[in-house]
Structure 1
């Protein structure tokens, strides 16, 4: 299956994957983080939701993070119909691409026929 990520002739690689029934229809969806297989640095990721019927292969049904945002996906999980992820990014263009210096924990829920993004509460305590 082809993901909607442009790699300028390089292959793309799936770096994270999580599966679960996100919309409550009884069929599992798969969430994948993918990036270009650049060989160095930390190329930006795209985060996609895939679904497939019994007679069709998987297809992208939602893009949660566009590679143009220049973020990478750290942790990724699906639990209780919720997608959670840690997004890694950069505070400025001066930060080397190898070393993201910002981290954001986010979640998506299926509401009203679409995925709605919200911030994930930080864990308290040590």
Structure 2
């Protein structure tokens, strides 16, 4: 059995309109050109091509203040200052990061008290400056687990219940948080142990 031959549609009397004439091709080409031109005009005004390297006109984010480039208000009697920990983040919502630093005197033995400080850059300045002291060394505390998250400073403070407790072995432990509000750092305590 052989397959039936397909009819010649162009010569079928009811389908005479299927013959392509030059006028049909010109009309189709003009319509396509109009659709392409209209599509080009209707693109959103912000649609632009960018280089994979990014737009060089966008400023780079400001670096966080360098904790090593600051003089801390510590009386170390000639001993050097040690930066124990740092954490960075935008604390005041201005789009520029601040640095929170735990620093202490570098003692030969024992557990020297820490100070907890906030550093920032001034408007247009590149040098960091100390703008707040959150924990004074005179409080006799040691700071651990320093972090900045979502504008909140969190630190664990180790301390002593009495002067008789050996300085090697703090017996008080609390977690403190600070958040910038109404022009100052407000402190809350979230956990206290060993009291």
* 1:83 equivalent in alignment to 2:164: no
TM superposition score normalised by structure 2 = 0.61
* 1:35 equivalent in alignment to 2:104: yes
Find 1:24's aligned residue among 93, 112, 123.
93
Whole-angstrom distance in 1 between the partners of 2:110 and 2:189: 27
**Structure whose alpha-carbon radius of gyration is higher:** 2
Q: Spell out the pairing of 1:6-85 with structure 2 (5 A cutoff).
A: 6-53=75-122, 54-85=124-155
* Corresponding residue of 2:71: 2
More strand by share: 1
Query: Which stretches of structure 1, 4 residues or longer, exceed 2 Å deviation after superposition?
Result: 53-56
CA contact (8 A) 2:174 2:191 kept: no
* Corresponding residue of 2:166: 96
Flag structure 1 segments of 5+ consecutive residues without an equivalent: none
Flag structure 2 segments of 5+ consecutive residues without an equivalent: 1-69
Whole-angstrom distance in 2 between the partners of 1:58 and 1:6: 20
Whole-angstrom distance in 2 between the partners of 1:89 and 1:121: 14
More helix by share: 2
* Corresponding residue of 2:44: none
Q: CA deviation at 1:121?
A: 5.1
Specify the SS of the correspondent of 2:82. Answer: strand
Q: CA deviation at 1:75?
A: 1.0
Deviation per CA, 1:34-72: give whole Å up to 9, x if none. Answer: 000002111000000000134231111000000000001
